[in-house]
Amino acid sequence: MIKIKKNKLLIDQHDKNGFWGKFGGNFIPETLKKPVEDLAILFEKLRKDKKFIRERDYYFKNWVGSPTPFVKLENLTAHLGGAQIWAKVVSEANGGAHKIYNATVHSLIAKRAGKKYIVGDTGAGYAGKMLSMAAKKFGLKCKIFMGAKDIKRQKPNCDAMRKNGAEIVPVYTGSQTLVDAVSECMRYWVSNCLTTSMCVGSTVGPNIFVKICGWSTSQISRELILQIKEEFGEIPKKLKLINCVGGGSSSFGFWNEFMHYNKKQIEFIGVEAGGPKKSKRHAAPLTYGSKIGILHGAAQYVNQNTDGQIEETESISAGLDYPGVSPLHCFLKDVKRARYTAATDEEALKAYQLVTKYENLNPSLEPSHAFAEAIKIAPKLSKDTIIIVNSCGDAQKDRDILRKRLGK
């Protein structure tokens, strides 16, 4: 039985072929072997380079805005009458979501690699928006691949990308959502890998992309562990860290620093997108026991049919609307370090309504899935239990959907 090793970061606990247990690896065309290997070598060098770390920390602090707030949701807690509910308001980061960390790091690496262009995929549009911001900041030309369906439903983020000078490439193949955007972005990289850097928008893709993204978003838990100690004087005896999971970049970053705590003390709860209540489709491969398959270069639990065709997903939240999930989360599920569950579209919307009714907080549809779980379990828990929800995105991008569904 594979276990998490204590003396090593989880992102580094893969074997020489890039697998965390049965998950991950590098299922890529031969053409990408070299660029992927080059990136891996450069990243290993840079993460040991003090100057690079100083640079990263400088931009995280002065440009991204670190640390993001850690606040108690007093009214929501009082209303639910159980565990204390807190929020790590990552949506306060520059740009409005956690995607800024990965985008910043990839852009800094691209600069070091001497690349002039950077391309990326996006679902909710946050990864794209942040990459366009970072590209502009660091003087890189930027192309964003986005499903045509997502372009329609996440217009505010598209406007932002264009304003930052990025080109949005609409993807019309397949379901016209994130899964197709990632495929198209990888195809583009196959053709342009000598001049162009690729930023995969989440902890998915070939091994090195999982690592870089997880390394970048871990900033969230680095901040949080200090904030918790400052607030409570110690790590609370009963702590639950709840986060939505699509690709899994925000949740991994939210949990990383707490990985080695006993799960009885610190429980990780990942909330996937259950899709519309009446639909059979979902974006919750961990919750609903999808089989292991290969998607976008990595072995993972993925929604697929018996033949191995990737299945279409359905979720109100574009950011969670992905048939696969990070190999890191597959691993965390198998070693039972994290627990995964799903919230439906309706539950997420309801949670959004409740949170915005009681608190001065505007979580996007993605973290609203996490809030749905918090709201479900909090009343049953003792008052000394601390629930922290990663409010990892701002709902500004969802205004059209919210208006349509809630009349807001």
Contact positions with another protein (CB under 8 A) in 122-181: 173-174, 179-180
CB 72 within 8 A of CB 86: yes
CB 117 within 8 A of CB 87: no
* Angle of helix 219-232 versus helix 207-217 axis, rounded to 10: 30
The nearest distance, CB 385 to another protein, in angstroms, is: 41
The nearest distance, CB 213 to another protein, in angstroms, is: 18
41 contacts another protein (rule: CB under 8 A): no
The dihedral region occupied by 81, where left means phi > 0, alpha psi between -120 and 50, and beta the remainder, is left
Q: Which one of 42, 156, 192, 376 is in contact with another protein (CB under 8 A)?
A: 192
Would you call 41 exposed, middle or buried from its count of C-beta atoms within 10 A (0-12, 13-18, 19+)? exposed
Q: Which one of 14, 23, 24, 26 is in contact with another protein (CB under 8 A)?
A: 26
The nearest distance, CB 312 to another protein, in angstroms, is: 9
Q: Which one of 229, 291, 336, 380 is in contact with another protein (CB under 8 A)?
A: 291
22 vs 47, beta carbon nearer another protein: 22
Q: What is the 8-class DSSP label of residue 291?
A: P
94 φ, ψ (degrees, to nearest 5):
-50, 125
Helix (H, G, I), strand (E, B) or coil at 377: helix
Size of the site for another protein (CB under 8 A): 37
Q: One symbol per residue from 5 to 24: x for binding another protein (CB under 8 A), - otherwise; what is it?
A: ------------x-------
193 contacts another protein (rule: CB under 8 A): yes
In Å, what is the CA distance from 225 to each residue of 230, 236, 262?
A: 9, 11, 15
Measured distance CA(145)–CA(110) in Å, rounded: 18
Contact positions with another protein (CB under 8 A) in 197-216: none
246 contacts another protein (rule: CB under 8 A): no
Token reading at 184: 């198209």
Contact positions with another protein (CB under 8 A) in 294-353: 294-297, 304, 306-310
CB 252 within 8 A of CB 209: no
Q: Which one of 50, 194, 264, 280 is in contact with another protein (CB under 8 A)?
A: 194
132 vs 183, beta carbon nearer another protein: 183
Residue 213's identity, in one-letter code, is: C
113 contacts another protein (rule: CB under 8 A): no
How many residues are present in the chain? 408
Residue range at the interface with another protein (CB under 8 A); choices 246-254, 289-297, 332-340, 375-383: 289-297
16 vs 264, beta carbon nearer another protein: 16
The nearest distance, CB 191 to another protein, in angstroms, is: 4
79 contacts another protein (rule: CB under 8 A): no
Measured distance CA(160)–CA(147) in Å, rounded: 16
Q: What is the 8-class DSSP label of residue 60?
A: I
183 vs 221, beta carbon nearer another protein: 183
CB 87 within 8 A of CB 389: yes
Helix (DSSP H) and strand (DSSP E) numbers for the chain? 15, 14
Least Cα distance to 122 among 88, 89, 99 occurs for: 99
Residue range at the interface with another protein (CB under 8 A); choices 44-52, 70-78, 286-294, 381-389: 286-294
Q: Which one of 190, 225, 235, 354 is in contact with another protein (CB under 8 A)?
A: 190
Helix (H, G, I), strand (E, B) or coil at 335: coil
Q: Which one of 96, 147, 274, 293 is in contact with another protein (CB under 8 A)?
A: 293
Residue range at the interface with another protein (CB under 8 A); choices 3-11, 287-295, 332-340, 393-401: 287-295
Q: Which residues sit at the interface with another protein, rule CB under 8 A?
A: 17, 25-35, 173-174, 179-180, 183, 186-187, 190-194, 291-297, 304, 306-310
